[in-house]
Every structure is written in C-alpha cells, then in structure tokens.
C-alpha cells in the first residue's frame, strides 16, 4: 500500500480547526483479484475535521453564504441532515458562532445524535414511518415556512456543494494523481462526482466518470429502493449531474459493499464507511477489466467508526423533539402537530 499526499497536514500553531480542511491522503489498494489488475487509488476523507468529505461541503456553504451577505453573525442555520453534513455544519457553526438546528430521521444512531449534541447542535427528529424516507425534508420545509429568520443552506441544491469538491477534492486529486483513467464515486447529493469531474475536465484529464448506486436503484432516473448504504441514493435526483456527464453507472449490492469493507480492513488496515465499501467495490469491478497500467481513483467519504452502532430501532410512531428549548422554539410546533403532516 503506497501513500500520496499533496501537502503537509500539520497546521500552523494557533490555526483554526477549519484551516485543517483538505489535503487528505490517497492510498493505493490492491484488488483481491491480484496484482495483474489495474491499480486502485483511494482518497481517505476521514482525515478531514469531522471525519468525512461532507465537512468540506459544510464549510464551503457557510463561507459562500457569508461572502454573499446571506449569513450574518448570530444567525440560526437549519439543515435537514443528521449525518456527516450535520457534523461538518456543527463544527463550522461552533467555530464561527452560529446557532444550528438539524432535522434528522428518527432512525439515526444514538451515537450520531450524541455527537451532534456534544458539538452544540439542537436536534429535531422526524417520523420516518409516518412521513417516509424524506421525513426530515418535509419537517424542515414546514419549519422554514413558519420561521423566515432560519437559514437553510440545502446541500442538495446549493452550488457550493460541488464547488467544494472542485476547489478542494478535485484539485487535490489532480496534484496527487497526475494521470487518471477512471474516477469512481457514489451519487448522493451528487456534489462529489460533479465537482471532481469538472475539475478533471478543466485540467484536460481524459478520465472516464463512473457513478455508483445501490443495487435496484437508478439514481439518474429517480428510481430508489430502500437500502442500508448511507450517503448514496438518498431519494433525491441530483441537481448537479447531467446523465451525459457520466460514462457508466455501476450497481453494488449491500453484501458486496460490506465484503469490500471487511477486505480493506483486514488486508490494508483501512476501516471505511458503507458508501466507501460501495465505491471501492465498483472501482475493483473496473480494475478487473484492465491491466496494471490503468489508474482507477475513488473516494472513501468517511471512516467505519460511525457505523459500529446500528441505526435506531423501534422509533416512536410520532416525531420527537430532542435538545434544549431553542430547538423546540425553532421547530415552531408540537410533536403531535408535526406528526399530523403527512
């Protein structure tokens, strides 16, 4: 396993945590099919503050909103997420002094909830049984309708999302891997694939762009099925990707993703998250088609420690509001009222 970094990851003395964003390492991983296959290079995003690639997006959205005047000191941010984007926002909000309310499905793990509360975020849990997989989006929209002072940055439509990967992730890839034949990434919001792909095109790379989706989904056409691979195929058609920009889509089963995660941990010492397993499984599929000289690059959006605890089981049938009184006031509704909105 070889290692490539584009710059020292040590911050200068007195630097803010936010200045430590990016310059994550790239490691070479050998396919389980042997050394005759193409080489796969994996960018380890858990080395960002907050432990994931979404911290890049969170910081970029906040800084762009500050620059435009949309976000002013003391503002309250509201975002429908409880995953990695939520952690990134919580870190940036803590450093910059913003209030943050996160709306998250009531199926998320207690570990994630505890982490977000420790970082100062107020949590509103949405009822996934009554409102479906997009319950957190529905509740957040209602809260925004009732309180115009809330600022929602909305990673699914905000151009700062792919911009973060154009300026950061993509630029780093170009420096770390001067030649690339394939770039492989799962599609959730689509920001990673879109931003990196555009940076590659602008650097005159001829890399083919390969999207990854869970088995049974067609994310470019809006077909989604329930699956356990958090972070990809999230029930929203990406606003950032045109089907013509993607050379190929590869579907990966949950079993393939988990087997790849186990292989990486036991053979390379890389304990990565669920979507990372799917990305690498797809990269290995590309690698099997080619000989050693081909360069396949992909990304590990986060590490595996966030997935040690199962997601919440047996949630209450109505949403629960979690956190201190500011979160309740921001929600602007009681638990029973929210539950009636189906």
Name the burial class of residue 238, with classes exposed (0-12), middle (13-18) and buried (19+) by CB atoms within 10 angstroms of its CB: buried
To the query of whether residue 54 is one of the catalytic residues in this protein, the response is: yes
Question: Is the CB of residue 213 less than 8 Å from the CB of residue 249?
Answer: yes
State the maximum Cα–Cα separation within the chain, in Å, rounded to a whole number. Answer: 61
Token output for 132: 């479906």
From residue 108, alpha-carbon distances to 95, 134, 170, 309, 320 in Å are 25, 13, 30, 10, 13
Burial 14-50 (b: 16+ CB within 10 A, else e): eeeebebbbbbbbbebbbeeeeebbbbbbbbbbbbbb
Classify 332 as helix, strand or coil. Answer: coil
The one catalytic residue in 43, 54, 117, 208 is 54
Quote the DSSP letter at residue 185.
Answer: E
Question: Is the CB of residue 5 less than 8 Å from the CB of residue 23?
Answer: yes
Pairing of strands 99-105, 122-126: parallel
Question: Is the CB of residue 22 less than 8 Å from the CB of residue 168?
Answer: yes
By annotation, the residues acting in catalysis are: 54
């Amino acid at each position: 396993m070889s290692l490539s970094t584009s710059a020292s990851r040590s911050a200068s003395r007195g630097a803010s945590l936010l200045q430590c964003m990016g310059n994550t390492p790239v490691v070479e991983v050998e396919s389980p099919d042997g050394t005759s296959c193409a080489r796969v290079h994996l960018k380890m995003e858990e080395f960002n503050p907050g432990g994931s690639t979404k911290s890049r997006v969170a910081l970029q959205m906040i800084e762009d909103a500050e620059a435009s005047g949309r976000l002013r000191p003391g503002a309250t941010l509201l975002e429908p997420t409880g995953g990695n984007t939520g952690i990134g926002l919580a870190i940036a909000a803590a450093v910059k002094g913003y209030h943050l309310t996160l709306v998250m499905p009531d199926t998320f793990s207690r570990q994630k909830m505890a982490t977000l509360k420790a970082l100062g975020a107020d949590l509103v849990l949405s009822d996934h049984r009554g409102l479906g997989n997009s319950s957190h989006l529905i509740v957040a929209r209602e809260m925004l309708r009732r309180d115009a002072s809330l600022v929602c940055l909305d990673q699914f439509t905000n151009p700062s999302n792919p911009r973060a990967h154009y300026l950061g992730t993509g630029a780093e890839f170009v420096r770390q891997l001067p030649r690339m034949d394939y770039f492989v990434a799962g599609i959730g919001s689509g920001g990673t694939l879109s931003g990196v792909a555009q940076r590659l095109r602008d650097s005159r790379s001829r890399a083919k762009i390969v999207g990854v989706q869970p088995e049974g989904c067609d994310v470019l056409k809006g077909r989604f099925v329930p699956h356990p691979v958090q972070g990809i195929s999230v029930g929203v058609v990406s606003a950032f990707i045109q089907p013509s920009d993607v050379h190929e889509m590869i579907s990966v089963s949950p079993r393939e993703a988990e087997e790849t995660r186990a292989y990486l941990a036991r053979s390379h010492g890389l304990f990565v998250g669920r979507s990372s397993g799917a990305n690498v499984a797809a990269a290995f599929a590309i690698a099997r088609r080619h000989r050693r000289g081909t360069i396949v690059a992909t990304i590990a959006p986060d590490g595996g420690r966030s997935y040690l605890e199962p997601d919440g089981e047996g949630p209450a049938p109505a949403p629960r509001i979690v956190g201190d009184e500011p979160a309740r006031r921001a929600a602007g509704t009681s638990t029973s009222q929210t539950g009636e909105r189906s």
